[in-house]
Structure 1
Amino acid sequence: MMLSARRSLAAVTGLGITQIISYGTLYYSFSILAPAMGEEFGRSREWLFAAFSGTLLIGGLVSPWSGRWADRFGAGRVMTLGSLAAALSLILCACSPSWATFAPAFVTTGIATPFILYNTAFAVLVQIDPQSAPRRITYLTLIAGFSSTLFWPLATRLLMSFTWRDIFLFYAALQVFICFPIHFWLSQMTRRSPVIRPETTQEPVAANGGTLTQSSRRTALILIATGFAFASFALSAMLAHLVPVLGAVGLGTSAVVVGTIFGPSQFASRLINMVIGSRLSAMAVAILSTALIPLAFMMLLLPPPVPLIAGAILFAMLFGMGSGLNSIVQGTLPLALFGHQGYGEILGKITSARLTVSSAAPFIFAYILERFGPHIALTIAAFVGILGVITFIMVAGLVKRSTEGA
C-alpha cells in the first residue's frame, strides 16, 4: 500500500510537470505569439483563431481514439508517443514557409493534444491506482493550473529576444527532453484497463467502483457528455474574449486588472476542493461547478444600483472557481459513475463532445457580441450554462434511480 501511494504521488508530480509544459506550449502561448505570426503571414486575428479552433476540433475528433488506445495499450505509452507527435507538429509549424503550409501544420498539434493532456493524464492515474485516483486528479489539476501563470510571461519574455519560430523549436525540445522521458517512465507503471464488456445485469459494476447499472450507463454517458459540452461552450466563449467583454460592459482600462482575478480564483477553488472535496460527491461538484459559470455571467448583468466594478470582481471570482472545479470533475465524475473499466474510452468520448462544441464557441460568441452587444451575448452564454446545470441535475436523478433500483 505504501509503495502504491508513493508511485501514485510520483506520477502526479511527473504528470504535473508535463501538463504545465504541454498546456503552455500547445494552448496558452498561442494568444501571446499570434500577433507575431499574423504579422509575418499577413493574416488577421480571425484567421489565426480559425486555425486555433481547427486544433480544438481535430482534438475532439481524435479524443475517442486516444481514450480507446489508453485502455488497450496503457495510458503511459499513449502519452509517450503523444510527446513525440507534439514535438513533430511544433517543428513542422516552425519550418513552415507560408500560411498555406503553417495552417495545416498548426492544426496537426490538435492531433497530439488528446494524447498528452488531461484526459489521458487522468487515465494514467486511474490505471496506477483506481482507489486514490479522484484525490490524485485534484492534485494534478492544482499543479497544472500554474501553466498559464508560467507560460504567459515566459512566452512574452522569449518573444523579446527570439522569433516565434525559435520559440516553437524550443517548445518542441521541451516535449522531447522533458515530457517524453517522464511519459516513458510512466509507461512502465501503467497497465492496460479491462475492455468494456456488454452485460445485461442490472447491478452496478461494484468491482470497478462505478455506481451506475449497465442499463443506465448509455443514457448517463450521453447526458454527461451533453452537460460538459454546454459548460465548455460557455467557458470557451468567455475565455477567448474575457478582457474585451469586460471592456465592452464599461470597465475600460480596469478590465485587465479584473481579469487577473480569474487565475487565483481558479487555483483557490482547486485548493479548497483538495481540502474539503471528499465531503462532496463528484456529482455535487459537477452541479456546483457548472452552476457557478452562468451565475458569474449574471454578475455582469446586475442592475445599476450595484457598482459595475463590484459585479465584475464577483464575475471573475465565480468564473475562475467554476472553471477550476470543472477541470477536476471532468475526470472524477466519469470515474465515480462508470468505474475504472474502460475509463479511457469513456473519458475520450466525453472529451470529444466537449472539444467539438467548444471549438465553435469563440466564433459564435464573437458574432453575437459584435452584432447584438455584450449584454445579449452574456445572456445567451448564461442560458447555455444553465442548460448544463439542468443536464447534470438530470444525471443526478438518473444515478439516484439507478441506485435505488439496484
Structure 2
Amino acid sequence: MTRAARLRTVSALGIIEIFAWGTSFYLIAVLAGPIGAETGWSGAAISAGVSLGLLVSGLFASLVGRRIERHGGRPVLAVGMVLLACGLGLLGLSRSLPAYYLAWAIMGAGMSCGLYDAAFSTLGRIFGRDARSAITQLTLWGGFASTVCWPLSAWLVEAVGWRSACFAYAGFHLVVTLPLALLAIPRAEPPPRGVPRRPLPVAAAVPVTDMRFLCLATAGVVLAMLSTIWSVHFVSILTATGYGVPAAIAIGTLIGPAQVAARVLEMMGRGRHHPVWTMLASTSAVVAGFSGLLFGLPAALAMIAWGAGNGLWSIARGALPLSVFGSEGYARTMGRLATPVLISSAAAPSIGALMKDVLTADAMLGVMATASIIPLAMALVLLRHKRPVLAV
C-alpha cells in the first residue's frame, strides 16, 4: 500500500473513531441532564443505558473479532455505523425506559463493531506486522473525540434539543461515517485468480491460559474499571479533598491534552522499542497519578500523569497483542481481550457508586491507587514473558 493510501485509510478511520466514540461512550456526559430534566428519569437510570451498551459491546466483541479475521474490517465497520445510527434514532424517539435501554443495546452492538478494538483489528488485518504505527496514529485522532463532540453536543442540545441532537448524529453516521467505512477502508484480500472461492481458514485462538494473554486481560480489566470510575466520580472526589468544582473541572480538562501529548511522544519513537515498554510507561504513569493524589501532590500534576498513562495504554493494548502473538489471528485475539474489558467497564459505574457510598474520598483514592499497581505488575511479568512473535 502506498503512503498516500495508508494515510487515507488511517484518516478515514480517525474520523470514524472520533464520532463513533463521541456519539456513544461520551454522549451521555452532555445529554444526561437534558434527558433527566425532560423525562424525570433518575441519573442512575440514565447512566444504566451506557452500562448496558458496554455490556452488549463486550458480549459481541469475540464475534466481531472473528468476522474481521475472516472478512476484513470494512463490512464490520459499516454495520457498526448503521447500528449506531439506528440506536441514536431510537434514542431520540424514546419516551420510556424500555425504549431507551433498547436504543442503548443497539448502540452497544454498534460500539462493538466501531470502536477501538474493531478499528485496531481492521488495521492489523490490513497492515499485518506493520500496523503498529497506524494504530498509534489512529489513537491521535481518537484522542479528540471528547474535545470535538462534547462542545458539539452541547451546542446541538442548546440549539435544537437533545432528541434532535440524536437525530443529527444518526444522520451524520449515515451520510459521513458509513460512506467513509465503505469507500476508504480497503476490502479484504480476494483469493488469487483461478483459485476456487471458499471460506478463509481462521487462525487458532490464543489460549486463555497463556500467561501473556492473562496479563493483558487483567491489566485491561483493571485499567478500564479505574478509567470509568474516575471519569464518573473525579469531580466529587476532588471536591471532597478540598478543591472547588470549577477547579476540579479545570483539572479534569488536563487529561485530554496529556493523552495526546503522550501519544505524540510514542509516535516520535517510530516503533524502535517493544510495545511492552509502552505498557510499562503507561502503567507506571497511572500509578504515579493515583499515588500523587493520595499523598497530596498537586492534582494538576497527578492528572497529567494519569492522562499520559491512559493515552499510552490505548496504544499498548492495540500494539502489544500484535507484537506478542503475531498478526495471524490478531482480530480474534483483540475480540477475546475486549470481552472482559468491556463487561468490566459496564460494571464499573455501579462499583464506583458503591465505593462512594461506603468510603471516604481518601479511602477511595487509596483503593484505586492500590488497584493501579496490578496493571504495573502485569507489565513487569510481560517484560519477562513477552517472547515476541514478530518485530513490530
The normalised TM-score by structure 1 is: 0.88
Residue 341 of structure 1: how far off its partner (Å) = 0.7
Distance 1:128 1:150, change over 3 A: same
1:239 aligns with 2:231: yes
Residues of 2 paired with 1:38 and 1:259: CA distance? 24
* One of 247, 255, 274 as aligned partner of 1:254: 247
User: Equivalent residue for 1:293?
Assistant: 286
- Secondary structure of the equivalent of 1:251? coil
Please tell me whether the aligned partners of residues 129 and 326 of structure 2 are also in contact (alpha carbons under 8 angstroms). Answer: no
Question: Residue in 2 aligned with 1:62?
Answer: 60
Contact persistence 1:220–1:398 (CA under 8 A)? yes
Q: Give yes or no for contact 2:294–2:369 (8 Å, CA) kept in 1.
A: no
Structure 2: how far apart are the matches of 1:66 and 1:389?
29
Cα displacement (A) at 1:100 = 2.6
Instruction: Show the counterpart of 1:362.
Output: 349
Residue by residue over 1:12-39, the C-alpha shift from the partner in whole angstroms, topping out at 9 and shown as x without a partner, is 0100111111111112121101111112
Counterpart position of 1:326: 313
Amino acid at match of 1:173: G
CA distance in 1, matches of 2:207, 2:163: 52
The DSSP-based 3-state class of the residue aligned with 1:108 is helix
Counterpart in 2 of 1:306? none
Distance (whole Å) between structure 1 residues aligned to residue 44 and residue 287 of structure 2: 26
1:1-57 CA deviation, whole Å, 9 max, x = no partner? Answer: xx4332221100100111111111112121101111112221111111122111111
Corresponding residue number in structure 1 for 2:30? 32
Q: Look up the SS of the partner of 2:262 in the other structure.
A: helix
How big is each residue's C-alpha offset from its partner over 1:175-203, in whole Å with a ceiling of 9 and x where there is no partner? 111111111124543448862148xxxxx
Alignment partners' CA distance in 2, 1:194 and 1:170: 41
Pick closer, same or farther for the CA change 1:6–1:126 going to 2, 3 Å.
farther
Q: Secondary structure at the match of 1:28?
A: coil
Aligned to 1:14: 12
How far did residue 289 of structure 1 move?
A: 0.7
What amino acid is aligned across from residue 11 of structure 1 in structure 2? T
For structure 2, which runs of at least 5 residues remain unmatched after alignment?
191-199
Q: Secondary structure at the match of 2:241?
A: helix
TM-score w.r.t. length of structure 2 = 0.92
Moved more, 31-40 or 90-99: 90-99
* In 1: Cα distance, 2:201 partner to 2:183 partner: 22
Cα pair distance change 1:347/1:40, threshold 3 Å: same
Distance in structure 2 (CA, Å) of the matches to 1:44 and 1:141: 34
How far apart are 1:277 and its partner, in Å?
5.3
Deviations 1:279-326 (A, max 9, x none): 3310111122122112201111225xxxxxx52011110011011111
Segments of 5+ residues of structure 1 without an aligned counterpart are: 199-213, 304-309
1:219 positional shift: 3.1
- For 1:143 and 1:235, how far apart are their aligned partners in 2? 19
Q: 1:387 aligns with which of 349, 363, 374?
A: 374
Alpha carbons 1:13, 1:140 under 8 Å: kept:
yes
Question: 1:246 corresponds to which letter in structure 2?
Answer: L
Structure 1 letter corresponding to 2:350: F
Residue of 142, 146, 149 corresponding to 2:147: 149
Distance in 1 separating the partners of 2:12 and 2:201: 25
Task: State the alpha-carbon separation in 1 of the partners of residues 5 and 127 from structure 2.
Answer: 9
The answer to whether residue 36 in structure 2 is matched with residue 46 in structure 1 is no
Deviations 1:188-243 (A, max 9, x none): 43448862148xxxxxxxxxxxxxxx899833222211121112111111112222
SS at match of 2:295: coil
Q: Which residue of 1 aligns with 2:217?
A: 225
Q: Distance in 2 between matches of 1:133 and 1:259?
A: 31
CA contact (8 A) 1:74 1:187 kept: no
Any conservation in 1 of the 2:86–2:106 contact (CA below 8 Å)? Answer: no
What SS does the corresponding residue of 1:129 show, helix, strand or coil?
helix
Hey, what's the Cα distance between the residues in 1 that align with 2:202 and 2:378? 28
Task: Please state whether the residue corresponding to 2:2 is helix, strand or coil.
Answer: helix
Partner of 2:203: 196
| 1:266 pairs with 2:253 | no
